[in-house]
Chain A
Amino acid sequence: MIELTNVHKSYGAVQAVRGVSFAIGAGEIVGLLGPNGAGKTTILKLLTGFHFPSSGLVQIAGHDVSEHPLAIKRRIGYLPENAPLYQDFTVQEYLQFAARARQMPREEQEKRITAAVAACGLDEVLHRPVAALSKGFRQRTGLAQAILHDPDILILDEPTSGLDPNQILEIRRLIRNLGERKTVLLSTHIMQEVEALCGRVLILNRGRIAATGTASQIAAELAGAQRFAISVIVPEAAAESVFDSVPGIAGAQNVTVQDVAAGPAPERTGAVAAEAAGAAAAPQTVPAERRLVRVSGEVALQRSAAARDIDTESGALLFDWAVARGYKLVELRPVRHSLEDLFAELTRS
Chain B
Amino acid sequence: MMGSMLVVARKELHSLFNSAVAYIVITLFLGLTSVWFFSVHQFLARDVASLRGYFGLVPLLFVVLLPALTMRAWAEETSSGTLELLLTLPFSETQLVAGKFLGTLSLVAVMLLLTIPVPLTVLPLGFFEIGEIAGQYAGTLLLATAGLAVGQFVSACSRNQISAFLLSALALLLFSSIHVVNAVLLLPRGIAGLLNHLSFSYHYQSFERGLIDTRGVAYYLLVTALFLYLNTKVLVLRKWR
Contacts and interface: CB of A to CB of B under 8 A. Distances in A.
A333 to B, nearest CB: 47
Given A88-B15, A103-B4, A51 B90 contact: no
A89 interface: yes
A73 B240 contact: no
Interface in A242-275: none
Given A50-B239, A93-B14, A101-B7, A88 B88 contact: no
B87 interface: yes
Contacts of A100: 7, 10
Contacts of B240: 51-52
Interface stretch (A75-83, A159-167, A298-306): A75-83
Contacts of B87: 49-50
B11 A97 contact: yes
A282 interface: no
A145 B15 CA distance: 19
Contacts of B14: 88-89, 93
A102 B89 contact: yes
Interface centre among B14, B84, B85 (most CB of A within 10 A): B85
A98 interface: yes
Contact of B88 (A78, A82, A93): A78
A86 B11 CA distance: 10
Contact of B18 (A82, A88, A97, A98): A88
Contacts, number: 67
B241 A80 contact: no
B91 interface: yes
Interface residues of B, number: 24
A84 B81 contact: yes
Interface string A43-74: 00100111110000000000000100110011
A29 to B, nearest CB: 20
Interface string B224-239: 0000000000000001
B106 interface: no
B188 to A, nearest CB: 44
Interface centre among A52, A81, A100 (most CB of B within 10 A): A100
A52 B241 CA distance: 8
B182 interface: no
A125 interface: no
Interface in A81-112: 81-82, 84-89, 93, 97-98, 100-103
B11 A88 contact: no
A12 B240 CA distance: 11
Given A97-B7, A100-B7, A50 B90 contact: no
A347 B90 CA distance: 36
A76 B89 CA distance: 9
A102 B90 contact: yes
Contacts of A73: 88-91
Contact of A80 (B10, B15, B88): B88
A338 B128 CA distance: 85
12 contacts: A51-B239, A70-B90, A73-B88, A73-B91, A76-B88, A84-B81, A85-B85, A86-B15, A88-B15, A97-B11, A98-B89, A101-B89
Which 5 A-B pairs give the minimum distances between C-beta atoms? A84-B81, A88-B18, A73-B90, A101-B89, A100-B7
Interface of B: 3-4, 7-8, 10-11, 14-15, 18-19, 80-82, 84-85, 87-92, 239-241
